[in-house]
Amino acid sequence: MPSYSQDINVDLNSNENGALKNESMEEKIEDRKFMPADLSSPNSAPAGLSADQKLAFALRDFLGTTSGQGVHPDGPSPSSASQQLPFIDEQEDAGPSDEDQKQCRTEEVLNNAACRLRRWRAASRKLRRPRIIDNLCKSEEKEASGRATGHTDLADRLRNLAAAGSASASAGELSSLAPPPPAATAPPSPGCLLSPSLADQSSAEYFGSSPECCADSTGLERSMGTPVPPPGPRYKLATEGSLRVCCFQHTRTVVVKILAAKFLRKWETHPLSLEEEHIVSKTPSGLLEHPLPYSCMQEVYCISRWDSARKYCLRIVMPHGSLLLQANDVYTRDQWYHSIVWRKNIIRYRNFLTKSVRREVVLKELKNMVDFVMTTPLQDESVTRTPLQILTDLLSERKDSPDWEEWAELVTSVAAPLLAERCATGELCALLARLCRRRPRAAPLPALAPPVRRVLTRNVDFARAPNARRLVRDYISALSAHNSGTALVRRFVEVTHGGRASCPHPRAAPNLAAVALAALDDHYRNASIPHVCDDKEEEVLCFADILEYMCEYEDWLVVVGAVLQPVPLCPGVLTCPRVARRLGNVLAALARDTRCQAHACVTPCRAARPSPPSWLKAAAPTEPLLALHNQQLCQLWGDMLGSLLHCCCKRKSFLQSMSKQLPDFVLVGLNEHPAALEALCLMLEWEVASGEQTQLEVIAALQGTELGQKYYKDLCDRQQNLQRLQAEGGPRRLALPVRATDADVEALLETGALGNLECLSLAFTSVTSACAHHLIKLPSLRYLNLWATKFGDSGVQLIAEHLPRLQVLNLCETPVSDKGIEALSGLSNLRRLNLNSTKLSAEAFDALRQRLPHLQEYDIRYTEAW
């Protein structure tokens, strides 16, 4: 009985290749000489047919699709009814006229039948078997072909059907002759058809892939432009596993044929390990006593026709025999198949690319390697790590040659899909950056764009990857070196951000800002002061443009502000007028933003230094570090101050910290900026400007302009009302009704003197933090109840600064958080504090207790600190 391992999966590397080629050439010549004849007689063959075509004509009923019928001119041809075999069945074009349709159909039937018969004969000849469908051939054909032919299970099944006397085959029988379908959970494998050996494959095919996969990936490559893996499951690169192993020799003699029979095969279980050069068994004994090198493998394919019997086998053809690997499931079988094919071909590509000298040959093989890596269904980091290392070696070996730039351009262009798939290594980033520096206008920018974006979106720390940062910097410089460099840089920022409202990559903005700042600092670090402009500045102005372009996106504006908050720029950068103009636009964008986390970036950051740098100091009109005109500085400084006063910094502590910059307030106020005039009025009202001389300077500045006089008049009116409010008299205790609002609190304070008011209850009212500006006018207040109100952090901070006599404070069920509760540490006289059902954390409460030693009673139930 023929063994399943030797059905169709044959070794085409025998010594009879020449005979097959000669026979195929003669058959092609005979096919060209063949002219279809009239088929009026169903039993007589037309004249002028070759031997194979006559046999195929005799079997026309067997090859038909319906029982008892011949080839009907109007019916479907057998080739269209049966399953088309890739690289076996040939597609024949229809005739141009209606008169030739009958002859074309007949020719198609005969040619396909003859083609299949030639394939069966070639397969049997390779197996060196003594018979080939002898029940259906003539006696002289038996003698001519019996010397170099064998028979397969296809021939057996065909002979059995003919011997049974069936005039035609049913649809099920015809489908049984076709290759078995691929597994439901695995992509098609080459075990289902007569695939050529690796040595006979053309360069257009991907080594180690089945023809079906090649066809599918080719179609996808045409439609999408880049090679993609075929549809189907994805696998991780196999490294080790337990498989059953069987080894048998190729059937050369009768004894070997008997020993290789299926009932005499010996199966062993081995824990296999896939190493870089060979396959080894962790228990080297028996069939795998010695390692199995990949270089000795002629073919590797799956035997998917055994899947129905739950025998998921993989065949490895060696020079003197074959090795069968059996897995527990089809997924494991296909995983090992793709893993072995990948390691085998990577070794071949490495040896070929490192030893070849001709440039065009190296580029062609590099293209094949890239396509192979991109179309493999393996998804593992090492699948692309090894090809990237081969690419790095290619670029490094000719690094000192004079034509290295041209060579690097060609290699980078060919390897563009591979560079877009995985992050480049540090050495490869350095080589690509060198290419951008040496030939900025000729560098393959489209091929370098994906790795640059991948660095920006996935890098975590540039301190550990300086070459990656260098690649991004040199790539941006290469973009700006073109004639439309400004538009290219803007487009690069746009693509990096993405088309959504927010960037999906949280690391992109910090990395891009860090690259821009590092480039500016590196160029201006040793610049002379005062600054002298030169032509070299054109190379780094694009990085200042990038900071300005990033501020056009709301989500990136906050990131840019956070990066720039500590003023991480050397004086040489700030003194350059062209860079200072772009930085001024960035600061103006931060000042215009209404979000606190954005415009708060112009204030000093929290640091251990007593006087940390800030943009309010760098852009101060009196002693500016930023090289802008005085009028622009005054407007910019006033805008930054106004955004802070209108949001979160309208507090006494902020004005006290800015008291040393009083000359800047005065200078900007004289330019009639509303924010500076408002800040000067608050300094007088809250007694921040201490000393009579200082107060006179502030009053003179307010009265120096028409707008300032209006602000000063409003201040005087408020002071008169405040004196009348703080006069002795009025109730000592007061409680507002439930429906009271901020307007009611303001109206209450305007009724008359409340200098004796010590206890105020606003519990369960609708007041908010806005009424804190009115409550701070009651300096004698000792008890304040804000239970179940909407009093927030900003109101608590204002109360803590202006009501130092407060002893009892009830903030139960209010939306205050750690930000406002930390400000209560300034109330040194506080005795009782209720923080029930607030957003208090344990850390904030521990810090508050240490700063309030006189606190006697507190309620922290239903909080995190409870």
Mean pLDDT of the chain: 78
- Residue 666, pLDDT score: 95
Q: What was the pLDDT predicted at 750? A: 80
Residues present in the chain in total: 866
User: For the residues 361-375, what does the mean pLDDT come to?
Assistant: 93
CATH number of 180-379: 2.30.29.30
Query: Stretch 436-459: mean pLDDT, rounded?
Result: 91
Rounded distance, CA 357 to CA 365, Å? Answer: 12
- Residues forming CATH 2.30.29.30 domain(s) in the chain: 180-379
Cβ atoms of 212 and 86 within 8 Å: the answer is yes
For 31-51, the pLDDT digits (tens) are: 443 343 343 444 455 666 666
pLDDT tens digits along 70-87: 334 343 333 333 333 232
Mean pLDDT on 828-833: 93
73 Rama sector, left if φ>0, alpha if ψ -120 to 50, beta otherwise = alpha
How many whole angstroms separate alpha carbon 860 and alpha carbon 858? 6
Element spanning 457, H or E: helix 445-458
Residue 217 above 70 pLDDT? no
pLDDT at 19 exceeding the cut of 50:
no
Q: What is the mean pLDDT of residues 394-400?
A: 88
Could you tell me which residue, 365 or 535, shows the higher pLDDT? 365
Buried b (16+ CB within 10 A) or exposed e, 211-232: bbbbbbbbebbeeeeebebbeb
343-347 LR contacts (CB < 8 Å, sep 24+): 343/274, 343/276, 343/294, 344/208, 344/294, 344/295, 344/297, 344/300, 345/207, 345/208, 345/369, 345/372, 346/386, 346/387, 347/276, 347/277, 347/294, 347/295
Report the range out of 22-26, 143-147, 335-339 with the highest average pLDDT.
Answer: 335-339
The pLDDT, as a whole number, for residue 215 is: 33
Q: Is the pLDDT of residue 555 over 80?
A: yes
Candidates 827, 864, 829; CA nearest to 845 is 864
> How confident is residue 834, by pLDDT bands cut at 50, 70 and 90?
very high
Burial class (CB in 10 A: 0-12, 13-18, 19+), 692: exposed
Residue 328 Cα to chain centre, angstroms: 34
Q: Taking the CA atoms of the chain, what radius of gyration do you get in angstroms?
A: 43
Q: Cα 426–427–433 angle (5° rounding)? A: 85
If you average pLDDT over residues 593-611, what whole number do you get? Answer: 84
Q: What is the pLDDT of residue 522?
A: 94
DSSP assignment of 403-452 equals: THHHHHHHHHHHTHHHHHHSPPPHHHHHHHHHHHHH-TTTS-HHHHHHHH
Residue 86, pLDDT score: 30
Q: What is the pLDDT of residue 111?
A: 66
| Count of CA atoms in the C-beta half-sphere (13 A) of 643 | 23
- Copy the structure tokens of residue 439: 């030939």
User: Does the pLDDT value for residue 438 go beyond 70?
Assistant: yes
For residues 329 and 156, the model is more confident at 329
Instruction: Of 303, 295, 300, give the one whose Cα is nearest residue 262.
Output: 303
Of 378, 357, 217, 346, whose CA–CA distance to 275 is shortest? Answer: 346
Is the model's pLDDT at 467 over the cut of 80? yes
How much of the chain exceeds pLDDT 90, in percent? 52
The fold for domain 730-859 equals 3.80.10
Residues 6+ apart with CB under 8 A from 74: none
Domain with CATH 3.80.10.10 in the chain: 730-859
Query: What tens digit of pLDDT does each residue of 714-765 get?
Result: 999 988 888 888 787 778 899 999 989 999 998 888 877 788 899 999 999 9
**Amino acid (one-letter) located at 86:** P
Residue 809 identity: L
pLDDT of residue 153: 43
Per-residue pLDDT for 845 more than 80?
yes
29 or 450, which is more confident:
450
Q: Which of 437, 432, 431, 427 is nearest to 450 (CA)?
A: 432
**Model pLDDT, residue 190:** 34
Q: What are the pLDDT digits (tens) for 576-586?
A: 999 999 999 99
Instruction: Name the 3-class secondary structure at 635.
Output: helix
Task: Name the pLDDT band for 654 (thresholds 50, 70, 90).
Answer: very high
Question: Which residues neighbour 322 within 8 Å (Cβ) at sequence distance 6 or greater?
Answer: 5, 11, 247, 248, 250, 315, 316
Least confident segment among 224-233, 478-487, 526-535: 224-233
* Spatial distance between the Cα atoms of 5 and 261, rounded to a whole number of angstroms: 9
Residue 473 in this model has a pLDDT that exceeds 70: yes
Residues whose CB is less than 8 angstroms from the CB of residue 254 and which lie 6 or more positions away in sequence, other chains included: none
- Among 20-29, 243-252, 303-312, 630-639, which stretch is predicted with the lowest mean pLDDT? 20-29
Mean pLDDT of 457-467: 91
User: Hey, which of 368-372, 399-403, 608-612 has the most confident mean pLDDT?
Assistant: 368-372
CA distance 782 to 149: 112
| Residue 648 in this model has a pLDDT that exceeds 80 | yes
Rounded to whole angstroms, how far apart are CA atoms 6 and 259?
13
